[in-house]
Amino acid sequence: MLGDKDAVANIAVKNLEVARKFYEGTLGLMQVGAEGEEVIVFRSGNSTINVYRSQYAGTNKATAVTWSIGDDVEGVVGALKAKGVTFEHYDMPGMKREGDIHVAGDMKVAWFKDPDGNILNVINR
């Protein structure tokens, strides 16, 4: 029923202007819509991300969005770090860390947070 339909990520934030600067300026997403002072819609590849104002912003303790970026994890992590992004470091079974990148076999992943503490990541798959 839904297997051939696109999905949209929803991310709660406290301040839309701060979020806009991060998602547009830091991550390089393009705004493609808005709903007043409540929602900004960004395009990321062929998908969209709704960033919306909520009192519950940053309360999710799990990864909210993953970008599958192919083989250039090191390059993307370096570019984000140059824009001031700080990466999270986790102790996870079966993973070793190479700088800010967690590695398990051929998988490479790096986690970071937006200004509200929402957990985001990039992965080479």
Question: Which tens digits make up the pLDDT trace of 48-99?
Answer: 999 999 999 999 999 999 999 999 999 999 999 999 999 999 999 999 999 9
Q: How many distinct structural domains can be found in the chain?
A: 1
Q: At 108, which helix (H) or strand (E)?
A: strand 107-113
Q: Classify residue 106: in a domain, yes or no.
A: yes
Domain that holds residue 63: 9-123
Cα first-last separation, the chain: 25
Q: Classify residue 1: in a domain, yes or no.
A: no
- Give this prediction's pTM: 0.93
Q: Classify residue 59: in a domain, yes or no.
A: yes
Q: Classify residue 43: in a domain, yes or no.
A: yes
Q: Classify residue 52: in a domain, yes or no.
A: yes
What confidence tier does 104 reach under pLDDT thresholds 50, 70, 90? very high
Q: Classify residue 47: in a domain, yes or no.
A: yes
In 3D space, the residue among 104, 103, 116, 46 whose CA is nearest the CA of residue 74 turns out to be 103
Q: Classify residue 2: in a domain, yes or no.
A: no
Q: Classify residue 4: in a domain, yes or no.
A: no
Give me the CATH number covering residue 35.
3.10.180.10
DSSP state of 62: S
Give tens-digit pLDDT for 27-55. Answer: 999 999 999 999 999 999 999 999 999 99
Residues 6+ apart with CB under 8 A from 111: 63, 87, 88, 90, 102, 119, 120, 121
